[in-house]
């Protein structure tokens, strides 16, 4: 039994932790919250210099050819620090979509640039305040051009290009969906940042009006690719959530130890102790499910869809719970702009809704169990 990360992988995690503590503490996150910058460019530059953007990109495409286990380690630390950078959009979504479905020419064009940080990518999926499904995707592609609106697109105002989910068929089934890559700085693209619950990460409203585009993967195979990308991104995001949940628990713990009421630290009251124990329990369940997800992702196991769903469900629950109960532990001060609690509360919600709701992942997980235990 060797169900743990290797010493080298843990070393990478420690390095990531040190870098982010040094360059990206919560005062840096707050600058993005309070200012007009879309992301923290210096932190991003450092991330690129350390090669994190090319972690899972093979060396032949300019990456460092490590793998997804290493990427999980980085993800946990990015989650812990609430780093305001477009890492997840560019690395978990755009890069993975291209690795799965792109042609050789497309890989040569995009992957080295992504690894080197010369390009930032994203995946444009949602259209409005509802789930992205083959029925709700209306943006269309024909003759090398796309038209329609994608809202919200993660880091859409930062990215240079997007892999866009578009309709290429007439029906509303999965076969009607394709993916197309679009230069977001080119003609026919209008993009505007939208105001969001988590201003430390960008969301964009993008309109395509006959914007030049090129299909990624075969026509009609888009939904199958999206499913695979979401499984991979679910595992990586789960590690961000585990990191964030751990940080929220620590924040709550430190506050409870230092805050006195009724003549004693509030951390000595069972109501608070049990709350923090509940956070710890959820965090450990999330971590263990995420480790299994990491194993399934790194070995491309047939169980990846169920493993990813398990990691996603447990980690979403853990971070949402830790973030809200961290505020509760702080009492009124937790509701002030001045205290950092709301940064976790905001980010937990962003990550919770980023790749589809917990409810839809639960539905999907049970479908996987049904498949496995064919009646």
User: CA angle at residue 43 from 283 to 350, to 5 degrees?
Assistant: 40
* Binding flag, residue 298, another protein (CB under 8 A): yes
Which one of 104, 105, 170, 264 is in contact with another protein (CB under 8 A)? 264
Q: Which stretch binds another protein (CB under 8 A): 162-170, 233-241, 332-340, 365-373?
A: 365-373
Whether 41 and 84 have beta carbons less than 8 Å apart is answered as no
CA distance 225 to 333: 45
The total of other beta-carbon atoms located within 10 Å of residue 129's CB is 7
Compose the 1-40 pattern: x for residues touching another protein by CB under 8 A, - for all others. xxxxxx----------------------------------
Angle in degrees, 0-180, between the axes of helices 304-330 and 358-372, rounded to the nearest 10: 150
> Structure tokens of 286?
């999330």
Which one of 39, 61, 208, 291 is in contact with another protein (CB under 8 A)? 291
Of 113, 192, 208, 121, the closest CA to residue 152 belongs to: 192
Peptide bond into 152 cis (omega under 30): yes
For the CB of residue 359, give the shortest distance to another protein in the complex, in Å: 6
Which one of 26, 265, 339, 350 is in contact with another protein (CB under 8 A)? 265
Which one of 84, 148, 305, 310 is in contact with another protein (CB under 8 A)? 310
- Residue 269 or 339: which CB sits closer to another protein? 269
* Binding flag, residue 41, another protein (CB under 8 A): no
Of 317, 171, 178, 302, the closest CA to residue 248 belongs to: 317
Which one of 10, 31, 227, 273 is in contact with another protein (CB under 8 A)? 273
* Binding flag, residue 277, another protein (CB under 8 A): yes
Of 124, 61, 56, the closest CA to residue 94 belongs to: 124
CA distance 240 to 73: 9
Q: Which stretch binds another protein (CB under 8 A): 82-90, 121-129, 157-165, 358-366?
A: 358-366
Compose the 96-115 pattern: x for residues touching another protein by CB under 8 A, - for all others. --------------------
CA distance 236 to 240: 7
Whether 235 and 293 have beta carbons less than 8 Å apart is answered as yes
Interacting residues with another protein (CB under 8 A): 1-6, 69, 249, 253, 256-257, 264-265, 267-268, 270, 272-274, 276-278, 280-281, 284-289, 291-292, 294-295, 298, 309-310, 313-314, 359, 361-363, 365-366, 369-370, 373, 375
């Amino acid at each position: 039994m060797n169900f743990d990360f290797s010493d080298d992988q843990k070393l990478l995690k420690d390095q990531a932790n040190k870098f982010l503590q040094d360059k990206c503490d919560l005062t840096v996150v707050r600058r993005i919250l309070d200012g007009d910058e879309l992301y923290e460019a210096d932190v991003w530059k450092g991330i690129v210099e350390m090669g994190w953007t090319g972690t899972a990109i093979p060396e032949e495409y300019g990456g460092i050819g490590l793998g997804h286990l290493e990427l999980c380690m980085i993800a946990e630390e990015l989650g812990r620090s609430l780093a305001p950078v477009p890492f997840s959009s560019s690395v978990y979504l755009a890069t993975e979509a291209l690795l799965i479905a792109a042609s050789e020419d497309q890989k040569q064009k995009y992957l080295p640039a992504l690894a080197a940080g010369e390009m930032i990518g994203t995946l444009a999926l949602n259209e409005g305040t509802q789930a992205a499904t083959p029925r709700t995707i209306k943006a269309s592609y024909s003759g090398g051009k796309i038209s329609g609106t994608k809202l919200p697109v993660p880091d859409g105002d930062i990215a240079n290009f997007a892999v866009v989910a578009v309709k290429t068929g007439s029906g509303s089934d999965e076969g009607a969906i394709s993916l197309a890559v679009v230069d977001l700085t080119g003609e026919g693209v209008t993009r505007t940042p939208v105001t969001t619950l988590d201003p430390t990460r960008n969301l964009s409203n993008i309109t395509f009006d006959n914007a030049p585009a090129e299909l990624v993967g075969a026509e009609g195979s888009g939904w199958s690719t999206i499913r695979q990308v979401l499984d991979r991104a679910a595992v990586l995001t789960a590690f961000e959530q585990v990191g964030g949940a751990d940080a929220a628990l620590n924040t709550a713990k430190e506050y409870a130890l230092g805050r006195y009421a009724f003549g004693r630290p509030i951390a000595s009251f069972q109501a608070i102790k049990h709350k923090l124990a509940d956070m710890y329990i959820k965090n450990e369940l999330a971590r263990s499910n995420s480790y299994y997800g990491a194993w399934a992702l790194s070995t491309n196991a047939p169980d990846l869809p169920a493993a990813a769903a398990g990691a996603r469900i447990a980690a979403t629950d853990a971070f949402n719970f830790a973030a809200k109960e961290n505020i509760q532990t702080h009492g009124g001060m937790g509701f002030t702009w001045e205290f950092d609690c709301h940064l976790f509360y905001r980010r937990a919600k962003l990550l919770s809704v980023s790749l589809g709701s917990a409810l839809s992942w639960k539905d999907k997980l049970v479908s996987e169990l049904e498949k496995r235990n064919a009646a």
